[in-house]
Chain A
Amino acid sequence: MSTLVIQDLHVAIDGKEILKGVNLTINTNEIHAIMGPNGTGKSTLASAIMGHPKYEVTSGSVHLDGEDVLEMEVDERAQAGLFLAMQYPSEITGVTNADFLRSAINARREEGDEISIMKFIRDLDKKMEFLEMDQDMAQRYLNEGFSGGEKKRNEILQMMMIQPKFAVLDEIDSGLDIDALKVVSNGINEMRGEGFGCLIITHYQRLLNYITPDHVHVMMQGKVVKSGGPELAHKLEAQGYDWIKDELGIEDETVGQEA
Chain B
Amino acid sequence: MTVETKLALTEQDVRSYSVAKQEPNWFAEYRIRALGAAENLPMPTPDKTKIDKWNFTDFPVHSVESATFSSLAELPEEVKAIVTEGQQSVYIQRNNTPAFIQVSDELTSKGVIFTDIQTAIRDHENLVKKYFMTNGVKVDEHKLTSLNAALLNGGVFVYVPKNVVLEEPLQAVFMLDDAQTSLFNHTIVVADTNSSVTYVENYLSTVENATGIVNIISEVFAEDNASVTYGAVDVLDKGITTYVNRRGVANRNSRIEWALGLMNDGDTISENVTHLVGDASYGDTKTVVVGRGKQKQNFTTKVIHWGKHSEGYILKHGVMKDEASSIFNGIGKIEHGATKANAEQESRVLMLNEKARGDANPILLIDEDDVTAGHAASVGRVDPLQLYYLMSRGISKQNAERLVIHGFLAPVVSILPIEGVKKQLTEVIERKVR
A and B: interacting chains:
yes
Given A53-B388, A94-B406; A107-B411 close (CB under 8 Å):
no
How far apart are the CA atoms of A168 and B427 in the complex, in Å? 37
B393 engages A162 (CB within 8 Å): yes
B397 engages A103 (CB within 8 Å): no
A204: interface (CB < 8 Å): no
B126 to chain A minimum Cβ distance, whole angstroms, is 45
Given A73-B397, A90-B386, A103-B399; A50-B392 close (CB under 8 Å):
yes
CB-CB under 8 A from A74, the residues of chain B are 388, 391-392
B433: interface (CB < 8 Å): no
B392 engages A95 (CB within 8 Å): no
Q: Which residue on B lies nearest to A81, using beta carbons?
A: B394
Given A52-B388, A53-B384, A86-B389; A92-B395 close (CB under 8 Å):
no
Q: Which of B380-408 contact A (CB under 8 A)?
A: 383-386, 388-397, 399-400, 403-404, 406-408
Q: Which residue on A lies nearest to B383, using beta carbons?
A: A90
A93 engages B408 (CB within 8 Å): yes
How far apart are the CA atoms of A51 and B28 in the complex, in Å? 69
B393 to chain A minimum Cβ distance, whole angstroms, is 4
A158: interface (CB < 8 Å): yes
How far apart are the CA atoms of A93 and B386 in the complex, in Å? 10
Kindly supply a per-residue 1/0 record for chain A positions 66-108, scoring 1 wherever the CB is within 8 Å of any chain B CB and 0 otherwise.
0000000111011100011010011011110001100110011
Q: Which residue on B lies nearest to A142, using beta carbons?
A: B407
B410: interface (CB < 8 Å): yes
How far apart are the CA atoms of A52 and B389 in the complex, in Å? 9
Given A53-B388, A86-B389; A104-B394 close (CB under 8 Å):
yes
A78 engages B411 (CB within 8 Å): no
A141: interface (CB < 8 Å): yes
B56 to chain A minimum Cβ distance, whole angstroms, is 34
Given A89-B389, A90-B386; A95-B404 close (CB under 8 Å):
yes
A27 to chain B minimum Cβ distance, whole angstroms, is 22
Q: Which of A90-148 contact B (CB under 8 A)?
A: 90, 92-95, 99-100, 103-104, 107-108, 141-142
A108 engages B394 (CB within 8 Å): yes
How far apart are the CA atoms of A142 and B386 in the complex, in Å? 11
B277: interface (CB < 8 Å): no
CB-CB under 8 A from B393, the residues of chain A are 78, 83, 100, 103-104, 107, 158, 162
Q: Which residue, of B396, B397, B407, B408, has the highest number of chain A Cβ atoms within 10 A?
A: B407
CB-CB under 8 A from A162, the residues of chain B are 393-394
B404 to chain A minimum Cβ distance, whole angstroms, is 6
How far apart are the CA atoms of A77 and B395 in the complex, in Å? 10
Kindly supply a per-residue 1/0 record for chain A positions 28-45, scoring 1 wherever the CB is within 8 Å of any chain B CB and 0 otherwise.
000000000000000000
How far apart are the CA atoms of A99 and B407 in the complex, in Å? 11
Q: Which residue on A lies nearest to B396, using beta carbons?
A: A75
B391 engages A75 (CB within 8 Å): yes
CB-CB under 8 A from B160, the residues of chain A are none
* B383, B384, B391: the one within 8 Å of A73 (CB): B391
How far apart are the CA atoms of A84 and B410 in the complex, in Å? 27
B172: interface (CB < 8 Å): no
Q: Which residue on A lies nearest to B414, using beta carbons?
A: A94
Given A52-B388, A53-B388, A89-B389; A94-B395 close (CB under 8 Å):
no
B390 engages A92 (CB within 8 Å): yes
Total chain A interface residues with beta-carbon distance under 8 A? 29
How far apart are the CA atoms of A86 and B385 in the complex, in Å? 11
A92 engages B403 (CB within 8 Å): yes
How far apart are the CA atoms of A86 and B404 in the complex, in Å? 19
CB-CB under 8 A from B399, the residues of chain A are 103, 107
B390 to chain A minimum Cβ distance, whole angstroms, is 7
How far apart are the CA atoms of A4 and B395 in the complex, in Å? 21
Given A103-B399, A107-B396, A107-B399; A92-B404 close (CB under 8 Å):
yes
CB-CB under 8 A from A142, the residues of chain B are 407
Kindly supply a per-residue 1/0 record for chain B positions 1-26, scoring 1 wherever the CB is within 8 Å of any chain A CB and 0 otherwise.
00000000000000000000000000
B409: interface (CB < 8 Å): yes
A243 to chain B minimum Cβ distance, whole angstroms, is 36
How far apart are the CA atoms of A84 and B392 in the complex, in Å? 7
A100 to chain B minimum Cβ distance, whole angstroms, is 7
CB-CB under 8 A from A73, the residues of chain B are 391, 397
Given A75-B397, A107-B395, A108-B394; A93-B389 close (CB under 8 Å):
no
Q: Which residue on B lies nearest to A161, using beta carbons?
A: B393
How far apart are the CA atoms of A141 and B386 in the complex, in Å? 13
How far apart are the CA atoms of A258 and B400 in the complex, in Å? 40
CB-CB under 8 A from A141, the residues of chain B are 407
CB-CB under 8 A from A100, the residues of chain B are 390, 393, 403
B385 to chain A minimum Cβ distance, whole angstroms, is 5
* B385, B390, B407: the one within 8 Å of A93 (CB): B407
B410 engages A78 (CB within 8 Å): no
B329 to chain A minimum Cβ distance, whole angstroms, is 23
* A51, A95, A107: the one within 8 Å of B394 (CB): A107
* B394, B404, B406, B409: the one within 8 Å of A79 (CB): B394
Q: Which of B350-404 contact A (CB under 8 A)?
A: 383-386, 388-397, 399-400, 403-404
CB-CB under 8 A from B385, the residues of chain A are 53, 90
CB-CB under 8 A from A52, the residues of chain B are 388
CB-CB under 8 A from A89, the residues of chain B are 389
A104 engages B407 (CB within 8 Å): no
How far apart are the CA atoms of A185 and B393 in the complex, in Å? 21
A185 to chain B minimum Cβ distance, whole angstroms, is 22
* A83, A86, A94, A158: the one within 8 Å of B407 (CB): A94
Q: Can you name 29 A-B pairs with beta carbons within 8 Å?
A: A51-B388, A51-B392, A53-B384, A73-B397, A74-B388, A75-B391, A75-B394, A75-B396, A75-B397, A78-B391, A79-B394, A83-B393, A86-B392, A90-B388, A90-B389, A92-B386, A92-B390, A92-B403, A92-B407, A93-B408, A94-B408, A95-B404, A103-B390, A107-B394, A107-B399, A141-B407, A142-B407, A158-B393, A162-B393
Residues in B lying within 8 Å of A, measured CB to CB: 383-386, 388-397, 399-400, 403-404, 406-411, 414
Known: A94-B408, A107-B394. 11 other contacts (CB 8 A): A51-B392, A78-B394, A89-B389, A90-B385, A90-B388, A92-B390, A92-B407, A93-B408, A94-B411, A107-B395, A142-B407
Q: Which 7 A-B pairs have the closest CB atoms?
A: A94-B407, A94-B410, A78-B394, A90-B389, A74-B391, A95-B407, A104-B393
